Amino acid sequence: MSTDVTVETLGGERMKLNMGPHHPATHGVLRLMVETDGEIVAKAVPDHGFLHRSIEKIGECVEWPMFVPYTDRIDYVCAMNANLAYCVAVEKLLNTDPATAVQVPLRAECIRIIVAELNRISSHLVAVGAMSMDLGAYTPFLHGIAQRETVNDIFEKLCGQRLTYNFVTIGGVAFDLHKGAEAEITAFLDAFEKEMIRFNKLITANTIFRDRCAGVAAISAADAVAYGLVGPNLRGSGVDWDIRRDEPYGIYDRLAVRVPVGQGFAGRNGRVGDCYDRFVVRLLEINESVRLVREALKMLPAPVEKKTDATGGYQADVAKQLRKPPKGEVRVRTEAPRGEMGYVIVSDGSKTPYRVRCRTGSFTACSIFQKLMRGIFMADIVTVIGSFDIVVPEIDR
């Protein structure tokens, strides 16, 4: 919904409103200091730090493998991807010195792709479900959660946890796939694809929902790059960039990753980079992830008895290397559901990191809020926050 009235032409008395930190639509404890002129938002300034848990500082206190559970808590909606980002970074650090080089078994790499993409599916389901719930459509959220429960069941059998997995470890994964896991995952994907058709009929093709999101808070490709948007928020603006394809980590270079981008899907009223584009890009990424899981399942080598085996094992032996890792600094970025999750790790050669710096997608998404939320309707604030799929611990860490 666009409006001909602007903040400048109104010039009335402004009202200050606090949205959050306790607000059902801010996805946690984000606070927005909003100034409104009637129904039009004149200014909205995000206030962070209500969930600052000093995770980066904790990284300097704990040993290398002990930080993996904390990465779960940085982004709990997609904990597998968060684990993966840190582990890839530490492996890159170890590989800077041939003496401590680590070779992740191929089977472990395949399992990583499978769990990361499954987690991307379940994360995007929460994103699209929560956005439609914020806009008043409660049923799609329930459909999304029902599918997420099935993914949680698979992960629970894998590692015993439903949400914070601590599954991907430095040098591989914590456990091998359980017996019959491949069949379970395939069965889920088959059922899930049918379910997504119903889901799309219910909400994506819904005229009310589409018109509600069309044209709202459109971001141009130049702006998206300038403000450092990442992941689906960047691709929603039509920028063709995906770390999995353009700067591959793990064995993503052996998979054919197709990247969906925003094209103004809402049709007549829509613009490239509006809220509906970001919504649809997430749905298209779900389809892409389904395909990637199937591909990775095909590549999965047969398991062997020895767990450190370079092909059929699932966990390289890294205990010795982690006691005395090489000195230096590495930067790694990976593609999490909320965009690039990057790590800068500085090592002084001891068994604890010298510095762990995490860069996440939700934080950069907040930088554009002030620009976007000028001149939109009050009710559209919820649409914008929902379309960015922010997770507050990722902002505050």
Partner 1 sequence: MVDPGIARPGNDPDEQVLVTTVDEFLAWGKENSLFYLLFATACCGIELMQTGGPRYDVDRLGMIPRATPRQADLMIVAGTITHKMASRVRTLWEQMTEPRWVVSMGSCANSGGPFSKWSYSVLNGVDKYIPVDVYIPGCPPRPEALIDGVMALRERVRKYRTLGMRDRDPHVVQGGDCAFGSHPGRDGACGPSSAAPGALAMSRGDESPRTPQSGKPAQVNGGPA
Residues that bind partner 1 (CB under 8 A): 21-24, 28-29, 49-55, 57-58, 61-62, 69-70, 72-73, 76-77, 126, 142, 145-146, 148-149, 152, 162-164, 392-393
CB 224 within 8 A of CB 235: no
Please report how close the Cβ of residue 143 comes to partner 1 at its closest, in angstroms.
Answer: 8
60 vs 211, beta carbon nearer partner 1:
60
300 vs 395, beta carbon nearer partner 1:
395
Please report how close the Cβ of residue 350 comes to partner 1 at its closest, in angstroms.
Answer: 16
Coil, strand or helix: which one is 33?
strand
Please report how close the Cβ of residue 170 comes to partner 1 at its closest, in angstroms.
Answer: 18
53 vs 178, beta carbon nearer partner 1:
53
77 vs 292, beta carbon nearer partner 1:
77
Rounded Cα distance, 227 and 3, in Å: 24
Task: Please state at what angle helix 181-199 crosses helix 275-299, rounded to 10 degrees.
Answer: 160
108 vs 286, beta carbon nearer partner 1:
286
Please report how close the Cβ of residue 385 comes to partner 1 at its closest, in angstroms.
Answer: 15
Coil, strand or helix: which one is 340?
strand
Rounded Cα distance, 9 and 32, in Å: 24
Whose CA is closest to 210, among 152, 149, 277? 277
Task: Please state at what angle helix 79-94 crosses helix 106-134, rounded to 10 degrees.
Answer: 140
Please report how close the Cβ of residue 20 comes to partner 1 at its closest, in angstroms.
Answer: 9
Backbone angles phi, psi at 49, to 5 degrees: 100, 5
CA distances from 114 to 155, 182, 228, 264, 303 (A): 11, 10, 28, 31, 15
Q: What is the largest CA-CA distance in the chain?
A: 74
Please report how close the Cβ of residue 286 comes to partner 1 at its closest, in angstroms.
Answer: 18
5 vs 142, beta carbon nearer partner 1:
142
